[in-house]
Amino acid sequence: MRDHLILIGFMGAGKSTIACIMAERLDLPCVDLDQRIETAVGRSVAEIFAVDGEQAFREMETQALADLIEEPRSVVACGGGVVVRPENRELLGQLGTVVYLKVSAGEALARVGDAGTRPLLSGEGAALAATSLLQARESLYATSADLVFDTVDATPEAIVDRVIDALEERGEA
């Protein structure tokens, strides 16, 4: 389907949590792309990065995104790096309405904790990595999005209210 509701944004923006609440409110399936990849491969994202490497993960991510074209309307939480590949940005545009959930690097780090499950934010250089990755991606998130919401200082439920209001205004909820 090409009318999915797709959540993008940096790690720690709350995409998965917000997608599930939104899906329940809109009575749609909730799809978490990272979870799909983990289920398909039988390994965690951290293990895929460690064993197969980031490029292999990115291939799986593109395939998981492309598969959505054949699926019924759903609320989709993407991994934070989905906007990096140009072909993914093209797919996002074809798949439906793209919602960018914004978070600062500092807040993202605080939310993801020790980041054992996020290979790109693990270890000693995590603060620097968060700042530089977010800076490099910010404009990609913004130009890929139809709607943008700040997630700092708002509960997931309040963000869902705002997103659904905006979708209703667009006749999409």
Binding site for ligand S3P (CB under 6 A): 11, 15, 34, 45, 79-81, 118-120
Nearer to ligand S3P, 127 or 170 (CB): 127
Question: What sign does the CA torsion over 171, 154, 142, 60 have?
Answer: negative
Nearer to ligand S3P, 119 or 156 (CB): 119
Find the shortest distance in angstroms from Cβ 63 to ligand S3P: 14
Of the candidates 96, 99, 91, 83, the residue with the CA atom closest to the CA atom of residue 66: 91
Nearer to ligand S3P, 120 or 164 (CB): 120
Of the candidates 2, 7, 1, the residue with the CA atom closest to the CA atom of residue 146: 7
Nearer to ligand S3P, 102 or 118 (CB): 118
Find the shortest distance in angstroms from Cβ 171 to ligand S3P: 29
Using an 8 Å Cβ cutoff, are 9 and 36 in contact?
A: no
Find the shortest distance in angstroms from Cβ 46 to ligand S3P: 7
Distance CA 16, CA 13 (A): 9
Nearer to ligand S3P, 60 or 160 (CB): 60
Of all helices (H) and strands (E), which one includes residue 60? helix 54-67
For residues 71-94, b (16+ Cβ closer than 10 Å) or e, as one string?
eeebbbbbbbbbbbbeebbebbee
Distance CA 16, CA 22 (A): 10
